[in-house]
Amino acid sequence: MGEVTNRLAVDLCGIALDNPVIPASGTFGYGREFAEVYDINILGTFSFKGTTKDPRLGNLTPRIAETPCGMLNAVGLQNPGVDKVIEEELPNLAKIFHKPVMANVSGFSVDDYVYTCEKLDQQPQVGWLEVNISCPNVHGGGMSFGTDPAAAAEVTRAVKAVTAKPVIVKLSPNVTDIVSIAKACEDAGADGISLINTLLGMRIDLKTRRPILANTTGGLSGPAVFPVALRMVYQVAHAVSVPVVGMGGVTTAEDVLEMMMAGAAAVEVGAANLVDPFACKKIIEDLPAAMDKYGISTLSELKG
């Protein structure tokens, strides 16, 4: 087994991973449900549910709509709040997952991000802080932090000032020039960049003539977004010198290889987990054969 683990090993911001496969935030909860069906310690790591300063009930239902080759979601960051996560979820997680976990953080003001990141940075189980800047900036007129390079840099700088662990900034694809935002985050001290978050979309119910989602619009994920995600990962990985975590429609071991060839240091798998709870396990198990097929001896040689 040692040799196999070695072939798949990668490094993310100075922390060794047994493999590059990481369930994406919001598709894996805090690990408990998946730990009931397989040993989640086979994962490289996972990014836990988007956590905010205060508890959130999320958006009204319906929150999910199906689309060809994907799905729309407008869950609205439902979570128990950072204090509850630290008191309840992390101790439970320690029993089932024995590797550093990626803490995904969301906020609606710079102060929100600072508060939540500072608290999670102090938790021994947390290896990386994945800072989702796709949230609406309540003090900035509701425009997302991730659509403006200056706002993205401001969040990055503020979080870096209160944390010691690697900060990976998660970017929204709903922008004209994702490279300028990635560079602004890197210049402000980001240790890594992860992308893409979901693409904005909507569906209409022909019978009621109303949007299917209570929120009107939602985030499109699934295989439909893979080519867009790959293009953005490629652009960003070639423009910044920090590691890039690629995600967006990844469903197979081949998709992981493609993302890594585009420049990703590690790869997150999102919607696929909702379709098949064993998706990440299967991808990890399929990687050695896929590597053999394409003449890849180790994943670490692939980068870009």
Say which residues have a Cβ less than 8 Å from residue 201's Cβ, sequence separation at least 6.
Answer: 67, 72, 217, 218, 219, 220
Angle at 70 between CA 300 and CA 229, to 5 degrees: 40
Say which residues have a Cβ less than 8 Å from residue 202's Cβ, sequence separation at least 6.
Answer: 72, 211, 212, 213, 216, 217, 218
Nearest 5°: phi and psi at 47?
-100, 120
Active site residue 69: no
Say which residues have a Cβ less than 8 Å from residue 9's Cβ, sequence separation at least 6.
Answer: 16, 17, 18, 19, 298, 299, 300
In Å, how far are 17, 78, 89, 232 from 265, measured between CA atoms? 10, 29, 28, 14
**Rounded CA separation 58/187 (Å):** 33
Token pair recorded at residue 266: 């590690």
Catalytic residue from among 13, 135, 185, 280: 135
In Å, how far are 52, 107, 154, 176, 181 from 188, measured between CA atoms? 22, 18, 8, 20, 11
Q: What is the CA radius of gyration of the chain?
A: 18
- Which residue numbers are catalytic? 135
